[in-house]
């Protein structure tokens, strides 16, 4: 397994974590419902913990972890500020779609087959938690 490839893949995954953290920041800022805001803060905190774990893994492999979502992520983040829904339900729906589409599906593609066993195990734990986030967000709309 090429360590440079593993570090590159983990950094791409880490950028996605930062995108999620910033997206939740926008939602939290606009949410009126204190109970939903608290749930979003909890999910955001878990993304921060995951980002820290991935950054530490990259360092342990001798790499330098990224510290932001990158230029493309920054542009997407900036643009998303103008598309925050007005209702709590729509924010929950948008967060759920972000977790599912970007958090899980794109991350699975980024890291498919290019990781050492320890890194793969870490990412699987994180993706399992992201799947729980989707289920939890889904439960908030029922």
Phi, psi of 57 (to 5 degrees): -65, -45
Look at domain 3-140 and name its CATH class: mainly alpha
pLDDT tens digit sequence for 121-130: 999 999 999 9
Quote the CA–CA distance of 20 and 99 in Å, as a whole number: 8
pLDDT at residue 117, rounded to an integer: 93
pLDDT at residue 91, rounded to an integer: 92
> What is the residue extent of each domain of the chain?
3-140
The residue written with tokens 């709309």 in the block is 141
Least confident window among 63-72, 82-91, 132-141: 63-72
pLDDT tens digit sequence for 50-78: 999 999 999 999 999 998 765 555 555 55
């Amino acid at each position: 397994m090429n360590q440079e490839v593993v570090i590159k893949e983990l950094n791409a995954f880490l950028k996605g974590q930062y995108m999620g953290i910033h997206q939740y920041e926008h939602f939290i800022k606009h949410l009126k419902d204190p109970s939903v805001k608290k749930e979003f803060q909890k999910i955001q905190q878990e993304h921060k913990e995951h980002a820290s774990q991935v950054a530490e893994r990259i360092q342990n492999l001798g790499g330098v972890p990224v510290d932001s979502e990158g230029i493309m992520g920054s542009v997407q983040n900036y643009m998303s500020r103008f598309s925050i829904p007005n209702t709590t339900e729509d924010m929950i729906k948008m967060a759920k779609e972000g977790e599912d589409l970007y958090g899980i599906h794109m991350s699975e593609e980024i890291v498919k087959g290019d990781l050492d066993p320890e890194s793969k195990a870490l990412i699987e734990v994180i993706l399992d938690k992201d799947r729980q986030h989707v289920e939890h967000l889904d439960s908030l709309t029922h």
